[in-house]
Amino acid sequence: EHVTLDVSKLTSFVRDEEVDHIKIQTETAADLLKSKEGAGNDFLGWMDLPVDYDREEFARIKAAADKIQSDSQVLIVIGIGGSYLGARAAIEFLRHSFYNNVSKEIRKTPEIYFVGNNISATYMKHLMDVIGERDFSINVISKSGTTTEPAIAFRILKKKLEKKYGDSEAAKRIYATTDRAKGALKVLATEKGYETFVVPDDVGGRFSVLTAVGLLPIAVSGADIDELMKGAQAGRELALKEEFKNNEAMKYAAYRNLLLRKGKQVEILANYEPSCHYISEWWKQLYGESEGKDQKGIFPAAVDLTTDLHSMGQYIQDGGRFLFETVINIEESRETITIEEEESDLDGLNYLTGKTMDFVNKNAMNGTILAHTDGKVPNLMIKVPKQNEYYLGELFYFFEFACGVSGYLLGVNPFNQPGVESYKKNMFALLGKPGYEREREELLRRL
């Protein structure tokens, strides 16, 4: 069993000849990626990570996770964008739906909170309230080591940690994941003696979930990172070796570009499991940042269903027809709850007696797919056999490989992100950062 792509609901939108046509282009794009001769080829480290990773560091990640589990009630993970979303996606997908709230007996591992992914004072103060006087550690993650949001959060929480434990004990509770050699965080880590983990030079933020960036928080949560890597290895084998007709990642890249060329400019990733919410957030960054450039690209959007059928359902069914939908189908539910008979049947649900909640959920999914298809929203489905570490590893690789192929099909460099800099320049100027005086004057005039 593997992660697979189901295109059976696309027949009324896409003809076979069209697929034949884009197949050739997709093969060229995949060859370009595999030969490592395309644009952005100095950022392809993610391609071989599942087989070619630093074993010594991997062991240190596990040891650090053990230590944090034994000496901390709370782990604070500081990071933003690619230094945030992968870990959160994995932990929410793999662990308890109410991870931080459920009893320690069920969770067994430290509570984990993410910060440095916004600049909200309210969020920070409330986080401090949650930590209270409890034992905690910090994993600060920043590839550049200079990103404003995590840097501010780290400054504040490092203070709290140092006040509680003193400088030298605090230093033993700070784990820095950053560049091997450069950046402010690396300098500080060396000076203070923090344990450090590396974001490899050739792995961009949004492709970094299978480095220490994702692996340390994931390991602290109690998820099995060996299985995650094994699944990614399987995903890599399939992506690199299979020919188009059996290559799910290549097909996903091909079909989404086919649909884009027909004017479907927005892809909605839809899930029926709330624990997939952050998978969608991670996916949005992966595809949005990789493809949205040179005034091109699919706009990646996401819905949680059936929740959002009661808010966005109307639009998807009947609004502007520039959408297509990709459903993530977790084929086997992690839990089984059976609906029981009620004597009075006031809610009229007795016809479901003996059926599972997942049976209802899957029928809601299938009914929705057909309704959306009738409403002229083309539908793709990604089938994930089970919600576990192995298939998550496969899914991560599937999306990453498809993203590289898709970007080349679109004709962009999928591995840079020049647009991310624009807001930073303005923010620094408005904040009065030295060196931005001229820009500041210009912006203040416009405000």
Q: CA-to-CA distance for 141 and 299, rounded, in angstroms?
A: 27
Among the listed residues 419, 62, 384, 8, the one whose alpha carbon sits nearest the alpha carbon of residue 231: 384
Sheet containing 111-115: give its strands across: 111-115, 74-78, 136-142, 174-178, 195-198
Determine the Cα–Cα distance for residues 21 and 24; give it in Å rounded to an integer. 6
Provide the minimum distance between the beta carbon of 142 and ligand PA5 in the complex, in angstroms, as a whole number. Answer: 3
Question: What is the C-alpha separation between 141 and 196, in angstroms, rounded?
Answer: 10
- 289 contacts ligand PA5 (rule: CB under 6 A): yes
Q: Does the footprint of ligand PA5 cover residue 177 (CB under 6 A)?
A: no
Instruction: Check residue 417 for interaction with ligand PA5 (CB under 6 A).
Output: yes
329 touches ligand PA5 by CB under 6 A: no
Alpha helical stretches, state H, 121-211 = 121-131, 148-165, 167-171, 184-192
Instruction: Kindly state the DSSP code that residue 95 receives in the 8-state scheme.
Output: S
Going by C-alpha positions, the residue among 253, 288, 250, 209 that lies closest to residue 406 is: 253
Q: Is 284 in the site for ligand PA5 (CB under 6 A)?
A: no
Our finding on whether 80 is near ligand PA5 (CB under 6 A) is: yes
| Rounded least distance, CB 263 to ligand PA5, Å | 28
On whether the CB atoms of residues 290 and 403 are closer than 8 A, the answer is yes
State the sign of the Cα–Cα–Cα–Cα dihedral 318, 319, 322, 324. negative
Closest separation between CB of residue 413 and ligand PA5, Å? 13
Which residues does the annotation mark as catalytic?
289, 424
Q: Which of residues 81-110 bind ligand PA5 (CB under 6 A)?
A: 81-83
Is the CB of 19 or the CB of 209 nearer to ligand PA5? 209
190 vs 363, beta carbon nearer ligand PA5:
190
Q: Which of 25, 144, 265, 317 binds ligand PA5 (CB under 6 A)?
A: 144
The least distance separating ligand PA5 from the CB of residue 259, rounded to whole angstroms, comes to 25
Residue 196 or 368: which CB sits closer to ligand PA5? Answer: 196
Tell me, rounded to whole angstroms, the distance of Cα 150 from its chain centroid: 18
Stretch that binds ligand PA5, among 125-133, 200-208, 222-230, 291-299 (CB under 6 A): 200-208
Give least dist CB 84 to ligand PA5, A: 7
Closer residue to ligand PA5 (CB): 111 or 179: 179
359 C-beta neighbours (distance < 10 Å), count: 15
Return residues touching ligand PA5 (CB under 6 A): 80-83, 142-144, 147, 150, 204-206, 289, 417, 420
